[in-house]
Structure 1
């Protein structure tokens, strides 16, 4: 429970810092090594939580993130599409061996 809270807090902090840079109109500065490690660690904790989550809860998280997954049985691959328009972006689709 504490690990989940720490991961969520670190992710929220990174998002808030990015929002502040955008609002201030400044050029984004490179993240420090410690910031990158903290972000990757937080994301790793989140992936563990999602992997073990109830399928209904997982689907809701993906829905709120704007993430859509489409399984391609012919190639046994998954196409992941994220609608970033709600988060200041555009539609993105990643395919291949990731």
Structure 2
């Protein structure tokens, strides 16, 4: 096989390309690498992921509170009832033993 058959027909040799085109390709490659490294850093940075998850949860809660405040207050009331029930059962079992 010849070199012409192996090389891509649309790819030009660096000598055939203009300096601005080369600089644009270099900048695009740098931007792609920066984006990839940022994604890797985000995946490996657990505290940053925790902050991001907390922010998402807070945003969802605020949106739900704005759209349906009755559901939010009912959920809070239900949680209070469950916690009170657990506390009462805990005190009863502690006083028996």
What is the TM-score with the length of structure 2 in the denominator?
0.28
Higher-Rg structure is 2
* Bigger relative contact order, structure 1 or 2 (CA pairs below 8 A, ≥6 apart): 1
The structure with the largest strand share of the pair is 1
The structure with the largest helix share of the pair is 2
What is the TM-score with the length of structure 1 in the denominator?
0.28
